[in-house]
Amino acid sequence: MITADDRAEILIDSLGYIQKFHNKIVVIKYGGNAMLNNELKASVIKDIVLLKYIGMNPVIVHGGGPEITQLMELKGIHTEFVNGLRVTTPETMKVAEMVLTGSISPEIASLFNANGVPSVSMSGKDGKTILAKQKDPALGLVGEVTQINTEYIFNLIEGGYLPVVSPIAYGESGSSLNINSDEVAKHLATALGADKLILITDVDGVLADPQDNKSLISRLTLTEIKDAIKSGVITGGMIPKMDCCTGAIEGGVTRCHIINGTVPHSIIIELFTKDGIGTMVTNEEDIYENGNR
């Protein structure tokens, strides 16, 4: 049982973190079951509202793959994936924009507004914020980021707004391109000079032993990630997450965190407690003093 003294100690310990992160940009990739479960959604929203109230500048990038698939099934549209990427026909692109930009993004923004944080939903096309080119003709309207223009988002941040970004990019001749949301978060974090990139997933982080949930690796350097991939410790869907974190760190982001969004208030626990709750990725030169995350 947590006593009043315990709560006071937690608050006192968090003061240093709050001072350190004041006015810093934190890009949060919001996805997984934390988007689908109402209680978990409320937990994530409250955590991010707290970040805003203590002086941090969160920028949200969200996914929506399951919701897109669900609407396509309702419309009788066939869904095809190649190497984990959705083949995006013009018909699929219309559904993706309808779901991501027309539904999910405004819904998330409205939740922040309802909790006292002014928020604006946007796509990467707004203000030509995210420019992209076609990734592979076989994938259709799937893009890869070529340029990030930060002016629109910086104007929102300076105006006190919390941006909620859907992963739709401005393609050649003004076409819409569907981008992997992790990639969008990585490129935005790099371009905005974010202090942190947080990837909300359905897993605790990197496990030293995949069969042992208590074997969470709390911190990994870029070199350790390469070694862990070679040795088979990091496999499957965690590899692209690690590639995302590696790209962000190499692009100047200070730290990247992978956390389990199915754990209530995992953002706050990860950022404001000594041991955190997920896996933190840093470069080798990052001085990791006293567990400071």
Sign, CA torsion 207/39/183/142? positive
Place of tokens 């066939």: 78
User: In the prediction, which pLDDT does 290 show?
Assistant: 46
As given in the structure block, the two tokens for residue 278 are 């997920």
- Choose among 185, 98, 169, 100: nearest CA to 135: 169
- Which residues fall in the annotated binding site? 64-65, 86, 178
Half-sphere exposure of 287 (CA within 13 A, CB side): 1
Q: Does the domain formed by 59-180 have CATH 3.40.1160.10?
A: yes
- Which residues fall in the annotated binding site for substrate? 64-65, 86, 178
HEC per residue, the chain: CCCHHHHHHHHHHHHHHHHHHCCCEEEEEECHHHHCCHHHHHHHHHHHHHHHHCCCEEEEEECCHHHHHHHHHHCCCCCCEECCEECECHHHHHHHHHHHHHHHHHHHHHHHHHCCCCEEEEECCHHHCEEEEECCHHHECEEEEEEECCHHHHHHHHCCCEEEEECEEECHHHCEEECCHHHHHHHHHHHHCCCEEEEEECCCCCECCCCCCCCECCEEEHHHHHHHHHHCCCCCCHHHHHHHHHHHHHCCCCEEEEEECCCCCHHHHHHHCCCCCCEEEECCCCCCCCCCC
For 223-231, the CB contacts below 8 A with 24+ separation are 223/284, 225/281
> In this structure, are strands 85-86 and 81-82 parallel, antiparallel, or unpaired?
antiparallel
* Predicted structure pTM score: 0.92
- Pairwise CA distance, residues 148 & 135, whole Å: 16
User: In the prediction, which pLDDT does 151 show?
Assistant: 97
- Choose among 228, 254, 252, 260: nearest CA to 242: 228
User: In the prediction, which pLDDT does 289 show?
Assistant: 52
- Pairwise CA distance, residues 243 & 290, whole Å: 27
244 contacts: CB under 8 Å, gap ≥ 6: 182, 183, 185, 186, 197, 199, 256
Q: With a cut of 50, list the residues of the chain below it in pLDDT.
A: 1, 290
